[in-house]
Structure 1
Amino acid sequence: MTKAAALLLAGSLALAACASDEEGGDTATGNGGASGDLKIGLAYDEAGRGDKSFNDSAYAGAEAAIDEFGGEVQEVSPNEDGSNRAELLSNLAEQGYNPVIAVGFAYDEVLGEVAPQFPDTVFAQVDGSNADGAKGDNVTGLVFAEEEGSFLAGVAAALKSETGQVGFVGGVESPLIEKFQAGFEAGARAAKPDIVINSQYISPAGDFSGFSDPAKGQIVAQSMFDAGADIVYHAAGGSGTGVFQAAAASGGRAIGVDSDQYQTVEDPALQAVIMTSMLKRVDNAVQAFISDYVDGNVEGATDVLNDLSTEGVGLSDSGGFITDIKGDLDQYRQQIVDGEIEVPTSL
């Protein structure tokens, strides 16, 4: 069994706990406050911690590692335009944090510049491949088969839709988020070939505000509900709250992303519309990477893939909304794992 699979249940508990933490703290210590030698640097994606999704999941993984090994984690977030990402990584390395984990594909370019300057620091990037070693021999990519989990989300949406129309809201138009869209659309059409799918993005390529603008997320999703969709899936980070708000206002349903958002949202009215979430176990991947670092088992210039076979992606069943279609979902999941279904990664 992989470390990611073994950490699945523990990661769920850690993520639920971190969602209730207060925002604004820069350092957390585990083991009852005892600090060991482990110093983890965590550089967040757009929106930072508190997004109830992607960044929170990364923090949950780091927090779980601190609980296990002791030490501390230093959290940093980019400025509004993201122009200080390189500075954030450099500062963490200069201050002795090791490993340093960059959260999100937006660190692609700057990590390739910074990592070679600190050859004694071990870096990892969530959603950033380094299989070719272009970012340096000291960088490990933590990558996911988002398309596989999104395929199951598409199956669930199509099978549960009463109007025969569903929607997808992407945060920022990019190859990564298109993997979510491609998988979702493929899954929906596999389950119901005549399904109508409306897919839109909050912001264009290069504009990362689409991950942290709930108001625009609500506008985009509302247009889909108004046009006849009754279920909308989002891959939009913190903007997903707006998708949930649109679903609640329209009497529709939504599918969350990254974490089990049924468990992380605080508003009962929003919780009630979250049919399921596409779990992207960033928490497991981060915790497993740190565990490998502690054990001295990290290999740079490589990728660690998290997919359905490792339970690195999947669907949540909180609330019981998809219990009646579990058999169908299990069948599709097994076909993907067995290679009988090849899920597209692009449109």
Structure 2
Amino acid sequence: MVAAARRSLMVVGTVALGVLASVATVGAAVKAGQQCYCALDKATGGDCLRETTSRVCRPVTCERSYACVPSAKATHVCLARRVKSVLGCTGAMRNSRCKCEAAAPTKPAISLVPMQRTGRTGGTKCVAGKETHMKVSVEGKPLTCVAPMNVGSKTIPAAYAYVKAAQQTWATRDDALNMVFLSSRAKGYSGGQYVCMVMGNKARSTSSLKSKDRRAHSYFWLRKPTHFVVADDPTRLDRRDTYYQSKNKQELLVKQEWHDQYTDGYCFRVTSAMAAKFTNLKYVSGLAVWRGGKSYPSLGVQRFWSVRSSDVVRNKSAKWAYTGGRVSYPYTKAKPASYGKKAVPAPPVPSIDRVVITPVCGC
């Protein structure tokens, strides 16, 4: 681990992107699960680790953390969460890099995560349209909070550009619906955030599904109008793919099919809070939401929600048979014992519902 690191963790879910060698006072006023009025800590020093590629980290200055403050000085209300794991070097530091992995902290640690704004003037007020992060929940359960990938002066279409079997070297997850948030300084794109949905990635050589076609229908509802800035294989090029937006441009519908050895996808601007669902899934294992605010083309770390999780949430038990983490197709029923002796209608085709994306000012 990095020596003498300050208590400054960016915790999303249970994995900390920063790593510390000593646990100090931030969050000490509350126990895990409790709330307090809070604001960003003014201190900025300390050493942390951040992943550059899988299991490789580099030292960075710790990101500012939140601390409990008197209500008059608060900018947010924070929830105290127990830190389950942090990044640590597993070998010597060479060329400002080390091999690393997530592990449980050596001492119990609590991190404060802002849950809502207080509306007070003790700090920077979050202005609609100027949000910096996205909070994502699925099926009514919090999944993650993300910072966008900074693509610099590239436009969104240029950053997304298709290159052979992978999207511009993005290391997206195979078998998954990959949700990636982007920010750009390019003229006409600066000052906002964009979401790109990348369907799968290059098939692994060991994949048993390499010759199969995959399928997904995506629906998005936004409070304010938006439009597609990228649309892979529109109808005039591939009749398996369709992109539709309502007259008020607040509803987007996408129907796609893609071969396992390739990707498919689209991007649009995040204009407001939005809801989504993904239906008619074929050979899709789940939704991977990428977080970390990495510089292009590094996506950071993913939080994953499986199709099986949605199945269990909605049906209280898994209704479909799963093989190796993948949903089988044409969606065979689970073992007859799960249903008893009575004939039971087949469940609906697997889907992921109630995906809610909310713009926020910090995680």
After TM superposition, the score normalised by the length of structure 1 is: 0.28
Higher-Rg member (1/2): 2
More helix by share: 1
Structure number with greater CO (CA < 8 Å, separation at least 6) is 1
After TM superposition, the score normalised by the length of structure 2 is: 0.27
